[in-house]
Amino acid sequence: MSYIDNFVAYLSLIRITDIIDITLIAFIAYKLLKLLKNTRAEQVMKGFIFVLIFASIADIFKLNTVSWLMNQFFTVSLVFIIVVFQPELRSALERIGRGRSFFVSDSYNKNERSIDEIVSAMSSLSRQKIGALVVIEREVGLNDIIESGTNLSAEISSELLINIFIPNTPLHDGAVIIRDDLIEAAACYLPLTTNNTLSKELGTRHRAAIGISEKSDCLVVVVSEETGTISIVSNGVINRYFDDESLKDRLMKELRDDENKLNFKRRIENE
């Protein structure tokens, strides 16, 4: 009975202001995580939480050296986050100012028809030697990149993709972002890679493709304006000289793996 009495005594000490305080902190944390969802900053936030848990464990077991290192890390981490993720933080603050809310699907449902449309468009642009840059979102979201361009949220079609990249049209300069089975945005700005060992043959379009693939797990399809060569970029690595068949095979393999991983994740969560 003493445990129950102690529990009731603790409950009696809780004030209405304490409940409001905890609720506000929980609400702010939820909104912060929602704002960071589907951005590169989300991955850093997960890492930061892991380090925080690790530091707490070190304090519990009185690992003095580890605790000292963790304290030094937290001392400089705020400045580090502000400097490295300034674009994401600015975007998040702008969303707060606009009062926007977001619902982002975590599905990778790229069906074969959509892949066929992408392959058809890239093949046509390749024959005409028209440059193209198509980014396919995977697990790491690209909301910050999408907001730099023009929102379309249009169904994927080869005709639309071709028209977007026709020279001197309003949306041809920049990248197309594909999320699920939609062309989410066009004329988006991508970060350029800082890798100085790349071939001099690779122009700005290819360097942008490599740059975004270094910062997320996206899959990027590039068509060279000079040669018409079709390339695929993933994890900072570029593979070139794809034809229709090999391009479709690669996209099917990559995106089928994504869908299998998602189905496995959902099955584990349901269990």
Rounded average pLDDT over 116-141: 94
Instruction: Count how many residues are written for the chain.
Output: 271
Higher pLDDT, 54 or 77: 54
Partners of residue 219 on adjacent β-strands? 136, 234
141 and 104 Cβ atoms separated by less than 8 Å: yes
Q: Region 251-255: what's the mean pLDDT?
A: 89
pLDDT digits (tens, 9 = 90+) for 70-84: 878 777 776 776 676
Smallest Cα–Cα separation from 100: which of 34, 146, 144, 23? 34
Q: What is the pTM of this model?
A: 0.62
Pair of tokens at residue 19 = 């409940």
Q: Do 216 and 129 touch, CB atoms closer than 8 A?
A: no
Regarding beta strands 175-179 and 219-223, do their DSSP bridges make them parallel or antiparallel, or are they unpaired? unpaired
Is 140 a residue whose pLDDT tops 60? yes
Domain ranges for the chain: 105-267
Domain 105-267 falls under CATH 3.40.1700.10: yes
Is residue 39 over pLDDT 90? Answer: no
CB 134 within 8 A of CB 178: yes
pLDDT of residue 97: 60
Share of the chain above pLDDT 70, in %: 77
Quickly tell me which residue has 């993933």 as its tokens.
234
State residue 200's pLDDT score. 83
